[in-house]
Amino acid sequence: MEATEPQQTVDASQPENTTTEATEATPSKPIHSLVVDTGPLIKNDPPVSTLIAQAHELYTLPSVIAEIRDAATKARVETTLLPFLKLRSPKPESVKFVTDFARRTGDLEVLSRPDVHLIALTYELECERNGGDWRLRKTPVQKGLNGKAPGRETEEKQGDAADQKVDGAEDTEPEAAAGGQDGTEEKSTSEQNTLEDISKVEAEAREQPTMQQETITQALDSLSLEPSALPTADTAPDDAATADTKSQEEVDDDEGWITPSNLKKHQAKDQLSAPEQPIQKFLQAALLTSDYAMQNVALRINLNLVSPNLARITRVKTWVLRCHGCFQIARDTSKQFCPRCGQPTLTRVSSSTDAAGNFAVHLKTKNFRWNNRGNVYSVPKPVAGTASGKARGPGGGKGGWGRELILAEDQKEYVKKAADQRKTRQRDLMDEDYLPGILTGDRSGGAPGRIRVGAGRSVNSKKR
Q: What is the rounded CA–CA span in Å between residue 219 and residue 94?
A: 72
Confidence of residue 176 (pLDDT cuts 50, 70, 90): very low
Neighbour count for residue 418 (Cβ, 10 Å): 15
Q: Is it the case that residue 221 has pLDDT exceeding 70?
A: no
Rounded mean pLDDT, 144-153: 75
Of 150 and 417, the one with more pLDDT: 417
| pLDDT tens digits, 238-271 | 555 555 555 555 555 555 688 888 887 777 666 5
Q: What does the mean pLDDT of the chain come to?
A: 74
pLDDT at residue 314 in the model: 83
Q: What is the rounded CA–CA span in Å between residue 58 and residue 70?
A: 22
Own/partner contacts of 364-371, CB < 8 Å, gap of 24 or more, are 370/324, 371/457
Q: What is the rounded CA–CA span in Å between residue 227 and residue 231?
A: 10
Could you give the dihedral angle defined by the CA atoms of residues 74, 79, 85 and 88, in that order, rounded to the nearest 10 degrees?
50
Confidence of residue 3 (pLDDT cuts 50, 70, 90): very low
Percent of the chain as helix, strand, coil, to the nearest 5? 50, 10, 40
Own/partner contacts of 258-265, CB < 8 Å, gap of 24 or more, are 264/309
Confidence of residue 326 (pLDDT cuts 50, 70, 90): very high
Of 101 and 22, the one with more pLDDT: 101
